[in-house]
Structure 1
Amino acid sequence: MATTVAKTIEISSSSKKGIEDAVQGGLKKVSKSVKNIKGAWVKEIKVVTDEDGSVTEWRVHMNVSFVVA
């Protein structure tokens, strides 16, 4: 009987473009050192604003899961 084991790590990522870009950028960076990524859960979304309230940066905090060989 084959058993699959997965592990989860937490990462934070940011982008000036938007949430999707922050998520994709974070996953791309993690994939350079972590193999077999299977998914991610976005836990928190934060924005940085300037004085007039305009969004200047999007930040995400997420859990990334991957299969352990």
Structure 2
Amino acid sequence: MSVYKVIELIGTSEKSWEDAAAQAVAKARSSLRELRIVEVNKLDMRLDEAGNIVCYRARLNVSFKYEE
């Protein structure tokens, strides 16, 4: 029997939401073991004063195997 922990991450990118999500997963993969599921919860953008897109943001739930 296994237990999994779920954490929330926010990835950012100047390119796209897909790249923002990929950045978050890449960072999680470098410090967490046995990643299982990534669920995209929210997509948004940060804008400058003129209304231009500055960056894309992807909010993710990431689950990984819990080890004590």
The alignment's C-alpha RMSD in Å is: 1.4
Q: Which has the higher helix share?
A: 2
AA matched with 2:44? K
Partner residue, 1:4: 2
Alignment identity in percent? 30
Q: Distance in 2 between matches of 1:32 and 1:10?
A: 16
Q: Give the match's secondary structure for 2:18.
A: helix
With structure 2 as the length reference, what TM-score do the two structures score? 0.84
Residue 52 of structure 1: how far off its partner (Å): 4.2
Residue 14 of structure 1: how far off its partner (Å): 0.4
Structure with bigger gyration radius:
1
Q: Distance in 1 between matches of 2:15 and 2:53?
A: 10
Segments ≥4 residues shifted beyond 4 Å:
none
Once the two structures are superposed, the pairs formed by residues 1-69 of structure 1 within 5 Å of their partners are 3-69=1-67
Q: Distance in 2 between matches of 1:45 and 1:13?
A: 10
Q: Distance in 1 between matches of 2:49 and 2:65?
A: 44
